[in-house]
Structure 1
């Protein structure tokens, strides 16, 4: 195939580049910013797309962030590609503080209503993820083996992780997305105006040269 890589990357290298892309996350961020600036859409639509993408990174729907961001952008009448690019606001460097902010806010909101989780054990977050994944696999196998499904760990995961994360991500997600919206709107506007000015100047120069050639 024409676009197939000639050098097959080992699995460990793929994982490393997912966590730390070539050139680092700074270079990746500059690339995303460059693409956002050059999108052929009015600045307010691009900024709405950025809002949708950044807000999505504060939701616990991992693996579906592109779908959530695109849907939210369509609802807000924002640029869908801007929303997809802006989901890279969530990356291995930011997901830990995002998760901590969402979880702490979620526990705080639920405690205010007296609905805070009452864990029967004190297993860590990683252990809850692993146990929930084990339940999913075991229950999937139960469909073919006739064993009784057990949703205990999945229920614990929903009550103590997923639901607090989903509720708690709304406030920090809205604040961060609004900050990015109001920061990006004037920057994109200035960039597009500067680009239009450069194109007009270039066109005027070409017209002048063409008129001079005809005069000769």
Structure 2
């Protein structure tokens, strides 16, 4: 295949680069920033895509963020590439605070007594693992004589997924709106500066052309 890597990376390297990309997070952030600025679309459309991507990172649909961000951007008539790049807002450095904020907001909105804090991240991770194990075991049970047990998935849905889903809407919209209004003037200024640089370059080329034509005429 054309886009297939020649050097297959081992699993440990893929996991390591997920938490710490080559060149570090600063370089990765600069790459995303550079790509967003160079997108060939009006600033407001790019900003809508950024809003969609940032909002998506506050949802518990891990593994589907690209699909959800692209769908929201398409509905909003935003730039889909910008939406995909903006999902970088959710990364291993921000997942914990995003999760804590979303869960706390969800518990508050739903009137639940439990509160999320950073110390619960371990148990939260165990709930994800237990829910995944439950799903896998029940899929196997569907084709065997083993009895299905949805208890762990039920706990996960009640205590994590649904509060996270409800609670992530408000902070996700707030973060998305902030990023939208910050990105519009920055992208517009960058695009105007780039257009000015291109016009200056074209003007310089036009000035050189008559001189080159005159030189050839004199030589003849």
Would you call these one fold, judging by a TM-score over 0.5?
yes
Alpha-carbon spacing, 1:45–1:209, altered in 2? closer, same or farther (3 Å): same
The answer on whether the counterparts of 1:74 and 1:80 sit within 8 Å (CA) in structure 2 is: yes
Displacement of 1:14 after TM fit? 1.8
1:151 aligns with 2:150: yes
Q: What is the CA–CA distance in structure 1 between the aligned matches of 2:3 and 2:63, rounded to whole Å?
A: 25
Deviates most, 181-190 or 133-142: 133-142
Match of 1:26 in 2: 26
Task: Find out whether 1:16 has 2:53 as its counterpart.
Answer: no
Moved runs in structure 1, 4+ residues, more than 6 A? none
Counterpart residue number, 2:72: 72
CA distance in 1, matches of 2:89, 2:23: 17
Residue in 2 aligned with 1:90?
90
Measure, in 2, the Cα distance between the counterparts of 1:173 and 1:212. 58
The whole-number CA distance in structure 1 between the counterparts of 2:210 and 2:71 is: 50
Contact conserved, 1:117 with 1:159, CA < 8 A, in 2? no
Partner residue, 1:44: 44
Extract unaligned runs of 5+ from structure 1.
none
Shift in Å, 1:149: 1.5
CA, structure 1 residues 140+85, in 2 after alignment: closer, same or farther (shift >3 Å)? same
Equivalences for residues 200-211 of structure 1 within 5 A: 200-211=199-210
**Is the Cα contact below 8 Å between 1:53 and 1:83 reproduced in 2?**
yes
Q: CA deviation at 1:75?
A: 0.8
- Matches for 1:172-187 after TM superposition, within 5 Å: 172-187=171-186
Match in the other structure for 2:218: none
TM-score under structure 1 length normalisation: 0.91
Partner of 2:102: 102
Aligned match of 1:62: 62
What is the alpha-carbon distance in structure 2 between the residues aligned to residue 152 and residue 125 of structure 1? 16
Aligned positions, number? 209
Q: Structure 2 unaligned runs (5+)? A: 115-119, 216-220
Distance 2:81 2:141 in 1: 41
The CA deviation at 1:146 is: 2.5
Matched, 1:131 2:123: no
SS at match of 1:91: coil
